[in-house]
Amino acid sequence: MAKGELASTTVPPRIRNWSTANRSTSVMPWGATRTSTSTSPGTRPKIIGRLPAEGLQAASIRYLHHHVILNYHYYLSDENLLNLSPETEALLAGYQQKSAEALILLVSYPEATATSNAFANFNRHYLEQGGKNGLVVLENNKWSGSKISGRLLLIILEADRRQLAEILLKTVDLADEERRLK
């Protein structure tokens, strides 16, 4: 087979021969039914409310539960270092303040012990030379750091400036749910 040529044998005949007419008589009515029964858009995950608004690049927010999806947006490791699962809520968000940019990851775990394990695992692999404030300079000369509180883990994956990393570590809301509801 020549480079760029499609292998028709890899597509099952029933799919390869599925005409536009067949699609419009089977899929389109189903889609119309699904659309008409949906009365509202999905609800925003509550974890997004923990992000400080100043400098947040709203279009950069990515909500996820799996390390493969995290790696698609920001490669961390082939391993699931943070133990992301359907029981965790995670989001990536970009920030820009003045001429500095940052990318953060905020994860909510079902239990505080899972948070502690993920925090230790991340720090062991990425921030082992971190100082008492947990900030380190990466090979690409960007800053990284992490912080936990209860069931929440905050990671500054990359920040152009140390000051921006410090601001985000201080301003992302890591208060316990119980304290937030009082």
The edge-to-edge listing of strands for the beta sheet with 136-137 is 56-64, 89-97, 100-108, 152-159, 143-149, 136-137
pLDDT score, position 30: 45
Structure confidence by residue, pLDDT tens digits, 134-172: 789 998 999 999 999 999 999 999 999 999 999 999 999
Mean pLDDT score, 75-94: 94
Residue 71 has a pLDDT of 92
pLDDT digits (tens, 9 = 90+) for 3-56: 344 333 343 343 344 444 444 455 455 455 444 444 556 788 889 999 999 999
Q: According to the model, what pLDDT value does residue 127 have?
A: 81
Please tell me the predicted confidence (pLDDT) of residue 15. Answer: 38
Query: Is 70 exceeded by the pLDDT of residue 131?
Result: no
pLDDT of residue 173 exceeding 50: yes
Helix, strand, coil percentages in the chain from 3-state DSSP, rounded to 5: 35, 25, 40
Confidence grade of residue 181 (pLDDT, cut at 50, 70, 90): very low
Q: What is the pTM of this model?
A: 0.74
Is residue 127 within 8 A of residue 165, CB to CB? The reply is no
Contact (Cβ atoms closer than 8 angstroms) between residue 86 and residue 114: no
pLDDT score of 140:
92
DSSP state of 88: -
* Predicted pLDDT at 130: 58
